[in-house]
Amino acid sequence: MVVLKKNANAPVWQLLGMSRVYLLGKYGQKKIREIQEREAAEYIAQARRQYHFESNQRTCNMTVLSMLPTLRDALMHQLNSESLTSLLKNRPANKLEIWEDLKIISFTRSIVAVYSTCMLVVLLRVQLNIIGGYIYLDNATLGKNGTTPLAPPEVQQQYLSSIQHLLGDGLTELITIVKQAVHKVFGSISLKQTLSLLELEQKLKDIREVVEHKDSDQIASYSPLCHYLMPDEENPLASQACGLTERDVATIKLLNETRDMLESPDFSTVLSTCLNRGFSRLLDNMAEFFRPSEKDLSQNSSVNSLSSVSLPLAKIIPIINGQIHSVCSETPSHFVQDLLMMEQVKDFAANVYEAFSTPQQLEK
């Protein structure tokens, strides 16, 4: 303890002033320490949250890749072009009819593969970052004030199982819509008619226009594709005859929050951006088969490969038919890697995680 020496010549008010300055100095030092400690704690918490977020994104990527074989198998089962190609090898009498079926199924299969893979990437980004945010909050408040976990393991499992809609009924409905659009665009085109890559690109745009068309009464920001991601029913669990358990209530809350996120303008924008990239990559894969021959190049050095090379539709069909193996590849192909690494997807994921990992979420 510092002792203030009395100065016989110093007036009392001066001694009191010195004491006040000393106390203010000590108080100031204490406040500075408190601020420094608070800033250090906030920095550590932010670093911990950032580490958890990055770990969560790696989990997202691995989950997408692990689910692609299931998606591919479901598509190949419902759109079995292999059985048609086997029939054609036996030179059947209804060969032309089989070729027409193969035309529709082949285009439908690869187009649905692009749609469903993009949907899987963005939907899992939403789901795993919502649940990731809740897990972070649970860890941050573990054991404090007897708080109930926001996302216990059984709730996580029940919530994440909702992805089965996209792989089941949602996929079946999407196949139906895309098949109708393919039939509308390609149905009248002869197998002998030739198409350039630019013409093929326009046909894909025409199909997308039909599939992604919004009804006049639909909200502008609402993507019509959300219907295939989650069931329309507001509370699927609430329709059960038995009473709802605490776990069911927590899961319904997560599902409703997910539905709100899927109906947001940000989600619609990110999904649309992914689809644009996905269909662009599909055309890039197709472009390998539309390269001009050496003879074409020698005859015209300024030849434009995008428009100069045309292939009969019958030759394009097997090319488009095989694209599913590139699109739905569990080994990181250029197609999937493009989607996972897109900055728009990363930013969107960060915003979702931020929204659901802040303490304010506890007050909801």
Range in 243-247, 259-263, 334-338, 347-351 with the lowest mean pLDDT? 243-247
Model pLDDT for residues 154-197, shown as the tens digit of each residue: 999 989 999 999 999 999 999 999 999 999 999 999 999 999 99
The pLDDT value given to residue 43: 54
Q: Which of 205, 349, 171, 206 is nearest to 270 (CA)?
A: 349
Residues 44-63, mean pLDDT to the nearest whole number: 80
pLDDT of 116 strictly over 90: yes
Model pLDDT for residues 292-310, shown as the tens digit of each residue: 766 666 666 555 555 678 9
Q: 194 and 184 in contact (C-beta within 8 Å)?
A: no
Residues 80-95, mean pLDDT to the nearest whole number: 91
pLDDT of 3 strictly over 70: no
Report CA Rg, the chain. 30
Mean pLDDT across the chain? 83
The pLDDT value given to residue 140: 78
Q: Between residues 347 and 240, which one has the greater pLDDT?
A: 347
Q: Between residues 52 and 69, which one has the greater pLDDT?
A: 69
Q: 284 and 335 in contact (C-beta within 8 Å)?
A: no
Query: In DSSP terms, which residues pair with 196 in a beta bridge?
Result: 310
The pLDDT value given to residue 54: 87
Model pLDDT for residues 270-295, shown as the tens digit of each residue: 999 999 999 999 999 999 898 876 66
Rounded CA separation 343/349 (Å): 10
pLDDT of 265 strictly over 60: yes
The H-assigned helical ranges of the chain are 12-78, 81-89, 95-140, 153-160, 164-167, 169-186, 197-211, 246-262, 265-287, 294-299, 305-308, 313-321, 324-327, 334-340, 343-356
Rounded CA separation 211/224 (Å): 9
The pLDDT value given to residue 4: 45
